[in-house]
Structure 1
Amino acid sequence: MKPVATAAPAQPGRDWATFGGADEQHYSPLDQINLTNVKRLGMAWSLDLDDGPNAMTAPIAVDGIVYFTTGYSVIHAVDARTGKPLWRYDPHAPEVAGKKMRAAWGSRGIAYAHGKVFTGTIDGRLIAVDAKTGVEAWSVQTLPKDDASYITGAPWIAGDKVVIGFGGADFGPVRGYITAYNISSGKKAWRFFLVPGDPAKKDGEASDKAMEMAAKTWTGQWWKYGGGGTAWNAMAYDPKRRLLFVGTGNGTPWNQKIRSPGGGDNLFLCSIVAIDVDTGEYRWHYQENPGETWDFNSAMDVELATLTIDGKPRDVVMHAPKNGFYYIIDRDTGKLLSAKNFKPVNWATGIDMKTGRPMETPWARFPNGKAVMLSPAYVGAHAAESMSYSPKTGLTYIPAYEVPKVYVDPPNLKDWTFKPGQVINNGIGAPPPDMVPPPGKAELLAWDPVKQRKVWSVPQLGMRTGGATATGGDLVFQGQADGLFKAFDGRNGKELWRFDIQNGAQAHPITYLVDGKQYVTVMASWRGTGPTGRKPDFDYYTTKRRVITFALDGTGKLPPAAPLTPIADDLAFVVDPKLADAGKGLFAAHCASCHGPTTLSGGAAPDLKRAGAPLNYDAFASVLHDGLLVPRGMPRFEEFTPAQIASLQHYIRQQARVALANDGKTSAAVDREARRVDAGH
């Protein structure tokens, strides 16, 4: 009998099909590009992008096609060899979202499985698109349409299911959960709530028993605040154990004195939760911040590895969340194996290995209404920018930060309520005028997870930087806030190669094979708010957002960067100081999260001092009140009164005059004020 021919298995690392790659390590075994030849790396092709506010998405690559999103989950498919567009799918998310669209950040990632590309949308849909044609295969509404929840994170593939979480816990009463759907049909398989709801109601979901346990750790009437605990970023799937490990977010509001006034651990906030993929049942959890009150998200990368600990191989979860500690957790039991701070920490002195709980300092919870400056803070010692782990070097590469911030209770703590339309509903007060955090610092940090020690670090410009990707060629690729894309020696941090991509890159790059040739793709599109530290900063109007791909001996070149848009002004416009002062607070509450504190934008959204609309009241009102630019990612604020619109106009004009007086440069006073405002939102 003639043997049946079978297809050879794909070479490991040929494709990059999900957000973090195999084991969510942000690592590829490919070594065609390596320490000895990386200097030959050159641009193979680039593609300019023009969909919405940014393109911070992490791309994926399968069978010679690169997929990525721009703006609000607009999926593109391009030929990986040439960058030639193949198809484009637009879910029209801003138009569907309507009033719900207040988080103007776009998609951070997508996933591929079984011939489909998956994306979530700002209006709460999970969508499957045929990978060959770009035709929608199915779509489900996974979030309520009437609350502050939204999706910017990637879907996660777990066997025959695609799992989606969401964000929104900073914006209003939101209760976190994740939902699993059948990849083929889009039929809902199960839902797991991550914080308990109203005890008087039953959810009828797989996590009911877990929620009964969790409810014992909450006090007061927390369900009126939603609770938070959203899984807005990272998960990881272990096919051997059929377990999904979920990183959960902060409480809603952040301040525990409001949402759970009697204290309690508040499960499952800021935790790693292990869930049975087949049934949606709870298996175990490890809570990194019991009773969290700082926005110490645990939604950062959840990475899986086998490490030799005490002479024995252990399958572990590796986690470096916002709170500054690096955790090694047993995958079978959830037992903490080790923990040590990887950045300076002053909210705790360490982790008690007997209990697994942090040993908090007396001032950590800003008692008696006294303001404290904590490090790290809500920006995090590590945030959403991806870290990577190389099984070859045994090191984790972390985009790490030092950004102290001020915490204090708001006035009239007991009377605090959500403010509809406010950007950040965190329950934290404004910092005292004399408490101004120092400028933030960023670095690429190489950390040994077994020995729990720093191996090397590379200081970087600004207070945020880009995600990292490690390869079998002992390289670490990373984009940065200064517009440079670099390759480092993974063993010692030596810079080996750089390319000016003319824009910051926060999403991690990917690498893959096509026709036996290794490529590296990065999205040149900065999404951070506030100044990047680059001089001059990126200009939303002239800085190109691009997808750029590199290969050995590539010869492509980018055109020269466009000049900076001048600061707009009208000498006939008279700034009313009282109106400008009223606009200052309004801007901080509604506008700063995108346009930067005191209008110091980093290029992800317009620097409004350079915008034309604020020069003319009617034009400005058409954008703010009427939603003229909703398709471009600018939310509609129809609740703003004419007086409020005028106050914002006068505040922006005032900031423009200050900048013009300083020749367009940031004055020390403005920079100090920006840090103070940012310290308390």
Structure 2
Amino acid sequence: MPSILRRFFAVALLGAALSAQAASEIDNAALANEADSANWAAYGRSFSEQRFSTLDQINRDTVKRLGLAWSLDLPDVWNVSSTPLAVDGVLYLAVGFSVIKAVDAVSGKLLWSYDPKVDGQKMRMAWGIRGLAFWKNKVYAGVQDGRLFALDAKTGQLVWETLTTTPGDNRYITGAPRVFNGHVLIGHGGADFGHVRGYVTAYDADTGRQLWRWFAVPGNPADGFEDPSQELAAKTWTGQWWKFGGGGSAWNALTYDPEFNRVYIGTGNGGPWNRKLRSPGGGDNLFLCSVVALDADTGKYLWHYQTTPGETWDFNSTMDMVLATVQIEGKPRKVLMHAPKNGFFYVIDRETGKLISAEKIGKVTWAERIDMQTGRPVEVRGARYENGESLIWPGSGGTHNWQPMAYSPDSGLVYIPARELPGYYDDRGYTPENYDMDRDGPMGVHGFFDDIPKNAGSSSLLAWDPVHQKKAWEKPLPGATPGGVMATHGGLVFQGQSDGQLIAHDAQSGETLWRFDMGVGTQAPPITYSVNGKQYVSVLAGWSGGLMVLGSLSAQHGWVGREHPRRLLTFALDGDARLPPSAAPSIPQPLHDAGFKVDSALASQGRTLYQKCTICHGVAAVSGGYAPDLRASAIPLNTAAFTTIVRDGALQSRGMPPFAELSDADVQALQHYIRQQADDKPSAWEQVKSALSFIWLMIKMQLLKWGLM
């Protein structure tokens, strides 16, 4: 056959294969299909949220041949902590402020990009978007300013958008939508920013028309209740909680169960955190920190299980909820597996909502155990900072946070990105009578102003046996910011690390079988998919999203947001592409200006004002690498330049929101605080005193527990 004909037929066959692959119908049947892993078409790959792929071309034996197929740097976005989707050979990314990009999965070519142009004021909620959804021929994503939109998957053109929140409120969206039955479900965040009453809303996937809404906490009883579940919940609250909003925002975990046609909602913390202020007479404060089952078509309440009754520590249950059928005492049980912030791993009968088992997966000091008769935690005396302060494990960062875990039906293990980090709570001086959320801050506990040392916390990849509720194996990770995970039928568990390494572990033993230097750390979870019979692994890498604000604890890896890349990397067997070079890790060095005389009174005022900046620039002005370290920047030395950026929004296009409410005096106070921190060099004695103070706090907490103080 002439060579020209051979080429013709080869092209024709390739076109036919692509055409066949492009015919995928992403609907309930596709998203419920656990066996077909060609696509990764949902946040957790399938409705079960297991993050498990049946692909096995890349396996224990072949993974040593895994190499980079291509990479795509993303210099125009600042946050890449999300899960990509892969449908019919196209990758869809939600990055930065909900910028959606479509990329050819084989070549890495950018196909289209859509920017929803987020409201500048909402840029203050700088967590970034964590994922998107796919249904039929549309891509769905939320926006920080509260919008939900649908795009044509082939062209990137806007099909519809709707506002899911109220203009000017504290709600924002960072989580991925879920799509089922032609519905798009979305929650929101905001309970840490004041006056928020959490809810989830379902919209028509074709038109964006609102179908139903369910509130996580009750409103003012005088206004009536939206449904019977609100009346039920109100009985567990006291005082005038509705004046604060109450919290309960479902900002991350939503799981659809096709077997029962239900959605499970993972609800968030109280608003404020401190129950003594929002519900002074006590109470469980339903439905905070709960798993709530709703009818998928109507939003009608079915059942709930509350992981942290009367929550007062920011112990969200917004971490992923995984569905599976497992053998328990010789019988198959349809279960929901959940590892919320509070340090326990829960196995729940998803038909009835009854607790099957719960055990600690890490250091937990706020509760002794879960009472299996009542399903409630047996709390430790003093944990609720009854006497004004408390030091407990875990802290508000949780033993497990939003970084998703994975479950392998092959090994029967759950793989959890785990963290050990304490929390200090201090509400001395606050009472229900004198607390003002707008004046005193939305959390109801005093802010933390000190740097967090790099040895204050740790992290690990924990393989957990959910049936026997015990650890199978555990691998220590660098730092205290673990990445999300993915498991495969190839016997592998993939995870990106904060030190810039992408690792493939043996799913049974935890042995490291393969590693790749990505040139920057990440928290984003990998995905895998196939195109024309070839398996690929993709991951977003970039130092952003989540606990990047913990001062030296976050900064220890040396990633600096504007110096190190944000990129999409894709791997395949025998891949031989070269990764573009990136800067070596470095720690910013504070600038010292002998001509700038710090006014201690102004610096004290600036310390309080700086709390607005902590979420990006880090505690104590020590940047964790997400945003520039202001101590090392020349801009705060120039009042005019500093004012133009901080108050007037000169760098809004680069992710720096304007703070128009700041006065000239406020800007000056911030300057003095930053310069004070730049010049701060604790003496050896001050460091010893700090350590002794921490030790004394731990002793005092134990004495309070024993009733000796």
TM-score by length of 2: 0.88
Q: Is it true that 1:317 corresponds to 2:336 in the alignment?
A: yes
Instruction: Check conservation: 1:482, 1:534, Cα contact below 8 A.
Output: no
* 1:20 aligns with one of 28, 44, 55: 44
SS of residue matched to 2:460: strand
291-300 or 588-597, which moves further after superposition? Answer: 588-597
For the Cα contact (< 8 Å) 1:236–1:246, is it kept in 2?
yes
In structure 2, how many angstroms separate the alpha carbons of the residues matched to 1:175 and 1:410?
26
**Counterparts of residues 278-289 of structure 1 (less than 5 Å):** 278-289=297-308
Distance in 2 between residues matched to 1:464 and 1:366, nearest whole Å: 27
- Shift of the 500–194 alpha-carbon distance from structure 1 to 2, 3 Å rule, reads same
> In the superposition, relative to structure 1, how do residues 536 and 334 fare at CA in structure 2: closer, same or farther (>3 Å)?
closer
| Aligned-residue offset at 1:430 | 4.9
8 Å CA contact retained: 1:410, 1:430 = no
| Aligned partner of 2:577 among 532, 552, 556 | 556
Of 156, 174, 177, the match for 1:155? 177
CA distance change for structure 1 residues 357 and 565 in 2, over 3 Å: closer, same or farther? closer
Matches within 5 A, 1:35-54: 35-54=60-79
Name the counterpart of 1:374.
392
For the 8 Å contact 1:408–1:431, the answer to whether it is kept is no
Q: 2: distance between equivalents of 1:491 and 1:592?
A: 40
State the one-letter code of the partner of 1:62: V
Aligned residues of 1:127 and 1:139 also touching (Cα < 8 A): yes
Query: 1:260 corresponds to which residue?
Result: 279
* Deviation of 1:431 (Å): 7.0
Alignment counterpart, residue 496 of structure 1, candidates 513, 537, 555:
513
Checking the alignment, whether the CA contact within 8 Å between 2:603 and 2:670 is kept in structure 1 is no
CA displacement at 1:201 relative to structure 2 = 1.3
Which residue of the other structure, out of 430, 435, 443, is the alignment partner of 1:412? 430
Measured after TM superposition, the shift of residue 557 of structure 1 is: 1.8
SS of residue in 2 equivalent to 1:419: helix
Whether the 8 Å contact between 1:406 and 1:435 is mirrored in structure 2 is: no
Q: 1:393 to 1:625 in 2, by over 3 A?
A: same
Counterpart-to-counterpart distance in 1, 2:581 and 2:259: 50
Aligned to 2:128: 106
**Structure 2 residue runs without a partner (length 5+):** 1-19, 699-709
Letter of the aligned partner of 1:263 in structure 2? G
Match of 2:464 in 1: 447
Instruction: Tell whether 2:648 aligns with 1:630.
Output: no
* Counterpart Cα distance in 2 of 1:341 and 1:417: 36
Aligned amino acid, residue 315 of structure 1: K
Q: Does 1:395 align with 2:413?
A: yes
Aligned to 1:218: 237
Determine the structure 2 residue equivalent to 1:79. 104
Pair 533,671 (structure 1): closer, same or farther in 2 beyond 3 Å: farther
The equivalent of 1:600 in structure 2 is 622
Partner residue in 1 for 2:379: 360
2:664 alignment counterpart = 642
How big is the alpha-carbon RMSD for the aligned residues of Structure 1 and Structure 2? 2.7
Q: Secondary structure at the match of 1:586?
A: helix
The yes-or-no answer on 1:195 pairing with 2:217 is yes
Give the conservation status (yes or no) of the 8 Å contact 2:592–2:679: no
What is the SS of the residue equivalent to 1:123? Answer: coil
Q: Judging changes above 3 Å, is the alpha-carbon distance between structure 1 residues 169 and 33 closer, same or farther for their aligned structure 2 residues?
A: same
Question: How do residues 243-258 of structure 1 correspond to structure 2 at under 5 angstroms?
Answer: 243-258=262-277
Gaps of 5+ in 1: none
Which of 545, 549, 557 aligns to 1:529? It is 549
Q: SS of the counterpart of 2:397? A: coil
- Cα deviation 1:187-218 (Å, max 9, x = unaligned): 111001110001111365xxx11101111111
**In the alignment, is the contact (CA less than 8 A) between 1:461 and 1:532 conserved in 2?**
no
C-alpha distance in structure 1 between counterparts of 2:345 and 2:331, whole Å = 20
Correspondence for 2:144 among 88, 112, 122: 122
Equivalent-residue separation in structure 1 for 2:565 and 2:454 (angstroms): 32
What percent of counterpart residues are identical? 51
Give the Å deviation of 1:652.
2.2
Give the whole-Å Cα distance in 2 for the aligned partners of 1:572 and 1:365. Answer: 46
Residue of 383, 394, 401 corresponding to 2:401: 383
1:142 lines up with 2:164 in the alignment:
yes
Matched letter for residue 473 of structure 1: G
**Aligned counterpart, 2:198:** 176
- 1:95-145 deviations in whole A, cap 9, x for unaligned? xx2434421121111111111111101110001011100000100100011
Contact 1:104 1:635 in 2 (8 A): no
Partner of 2:477: 460
Q: Is the 8 A contact 2:185 2:202 kept in 1?
A: yes
399-408 vs 80-89, which deviates more? 399-408
Q: Write the deviation string for residues 620-671 of structure 1: whole angstroms up to 9, x where unpaired.
A: 1111111122232222211112122122223223333448x99xxxx96899
Q: Map Cα deviations across residues 150-178 of structure 1 (whole Å, 9 max, x no partner).
A: 00111011221110000000001000000
83, 98, 113: which one pairs with 1:58?
83
Q: Is the 8 A contact 1:29 1:472 kept in 2?
A: yes
**Secondary structure, counterpart of 2:437 in structure 1:** coil
> What aligned pairs does 1:223-238 form with structure 2 within 5 A after superposition?
223-238=242-257
Work out the CA distance in 2 between the residues paired with 1:175 and 1:89: 30
Are the equivalent residues in 2 in contact too, given 1:597–1:674 (CA < 8 A)? no
Q: Deviations over 1:600-628 (max 9, x none)?
A: 22222222233342231111111111112
Equivalence for 1:542: 563
TM-score (norm. length: structure 1)? 0.92
* Distance verdict in 2 for CA 1:160–1:617, change over 3 Å: same
Q: Please point out which of 326, 342, 360 is paired with 2:361.
A: 342
1:472-523 C-alpha deviation (Å, 9 max, x unpaired): 1110100111111111111011111111111111121111001111111111
Change (3 A) 1:255 1:578: same
Amino acid at match of 1:556: A
Distance 2:594 2:376 in 1: 61
CA–CA distance in structure 1, aligned partners of residues 689 and 673 of structure 2: 13
Tell me: CA distance 1:535–1:366, structure 2 relative to 1, closer, same or farther (3 Å). closer
* In 1, Cα distance between equivalents of 2:24 and 2:215: 42
Q: Structure 1 residue 269: deviation in Å? A: 0.3
Equivalent residue letter for 2:324: A
Aligned to 1:92: 117
Change (3 A) 1:525 1:565: same
- Relative to 1, partners in 2 of residues 1:616 and 1:675: Cα closer, same or farther, differing over 3 Å? farther
